[in-house]
């Protein structure tokens, strides 16, 4: 909207706050993905080959949880940095053209379209499970399934089994929509508290400092990002170390933060 000249007020991009993207996207999806798959299918994950498309924060969380339950995880990526991260974590990284022949559970996390195509599904093993936790219903080509499957059987709400022309079956969850919301109840309340705290502090910031933010899209100030984290520490029993005046002077940071530069990667 801002680029198109349609934005008339200042706005905050909450998704890029550290305490949103590195918590909601990663830790939230790490738990809610498995919750959705298990509720929908009751499938045993140990020993399965799981393919995670995308290795951003969402993909990282999904890969961690699938591996923790004993699945062998394959990653697909377009970004060389994310691909290198995945490889250094011990994951196999390959293309969807190759992974579609090997996987049994497929999870899209990219936020892009056409990640799993009809051609990919034709190569999949019998009763492969396909789901999305990234972005709406365009990551998996469910329209292709609807138009090209020989038959469709609704196993239970949000779980459909398609028979393909090659005789194999594909199990689609939530019609390609977000599996953690369609087959489960989304993220746990604690991690959502992080995200909602970001929104509340952003609203307070805009209300109390109206002249500080011109029309445009802004990021939450680092001190407020840190405050969101600080507010959640007591619940987890965390005891935070405090800088001494000498340490703060040496590091050239305020005793009470912010402690990191805006470009710091957590």
Mean pLDDT of 249-253: 97
**Parallel, antiparallel, or unpaired for β 159-163 and 105-108?**
unpaired
Q: What is the largest CA-CA distance in the chain?
A: 72
**Parallel, antiparallel, or unpaired for β 128-132 and 105-108?**
parallel
Cβ burial, residue 38 (10 Å; 0-12/13-18/19+): middle
> For helices 57-68 and 80-88, what crossing angle results, to 10°?
20
- Note the pLDDT tens digit of each residue in 13-38: 999 999 999 999 999 999 999 999 99
pTM assigned to the model = 0.94
- Note the pLDDT tens digit of each residue in 50-91: 999 999 999 999 999 999 999 999 999 999 999 999 999 999
Distances (CA, A) of 31 to 65, 79, 135: 7, 25, 17
Distance CA 19, CA 198 (A): 8
Cβ atoms of 162 and 149 closer than 8 Å: yes
- Note the pLDDT tens digit of each residue in 123-145: 999 999 999 999 889 999 999 99
User: Alpha-carbon torsion 96, 18, 201, 3, what sign?
Assistant: negative
Mean pLDDT of 182-193: 98
In DSSP terms, which residues pair with 130 in a beta bridge?
Answer: 106, 172
**Parallel, antiparallel, or unpaired for β 92-93 and 151-156?**
unpaired
Give the pLDDT confidence score for residue 142 in this predicted structure. Answer: 97
Give the strand order in the sheet containing 169-173.
Answer: 92-93, 72-76, 49-53, 105-108, 128-132, 169-173, 159-163, 151-156
């Amino acid at each position: 909207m801002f680029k198109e000249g349609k934005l008339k007020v200042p706005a905050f991009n909450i998704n890029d706050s550290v305490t949103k993207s590195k918590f909601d996207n990663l830790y939230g999806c790490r738990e809610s993905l498995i919750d959705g798959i298990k509720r929908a299918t009751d499938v045993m994950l140990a020993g399965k080959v799981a393919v995670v498309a995308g290795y951003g924060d969402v993909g990282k969380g999904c890969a961690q949880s699938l591996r923790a339950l004993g699945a062998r995880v394959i990653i697909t990526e377009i970004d060389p940095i994310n691909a290198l991260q995945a490889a250094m974590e011990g994951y196999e990284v390959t293309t969807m053209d190759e992974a579609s022949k090997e996987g049994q559970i497929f999870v899209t996390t990219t936020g892009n379209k056409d990640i799993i195509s009809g051609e990919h599904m034709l190569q999949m093993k019998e009763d492969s499970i396909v789901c999305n936790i990234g972005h709406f219903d365009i990551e998996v080509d469910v329209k292709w399934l609807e138009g090209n499957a020989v038959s469709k059987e609704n196993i239970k709400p949000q779980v459909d089994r398609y028979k393909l022309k090659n005789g194999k079956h594909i199990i689609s969850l939530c019609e390609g929509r977000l599996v953690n919301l369609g087959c489960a109840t989304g993220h746990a309340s604690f991690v959502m508290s992080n995200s909602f705290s970001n929104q509340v502090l952003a609203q307070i910031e805009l209300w109390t400092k109206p002249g500080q933010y011109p029309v445009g899209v802004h990021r939450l100030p680092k001190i407020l990002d840190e405050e969101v984290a600080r507010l959640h520490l007591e619940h987890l029993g965390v005891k935070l170390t405090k800088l001494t005046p000498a340490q703060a002077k040496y590091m050239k940071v305020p005793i009470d933060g912010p402690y990191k530069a805006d470009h710091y990667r957590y």
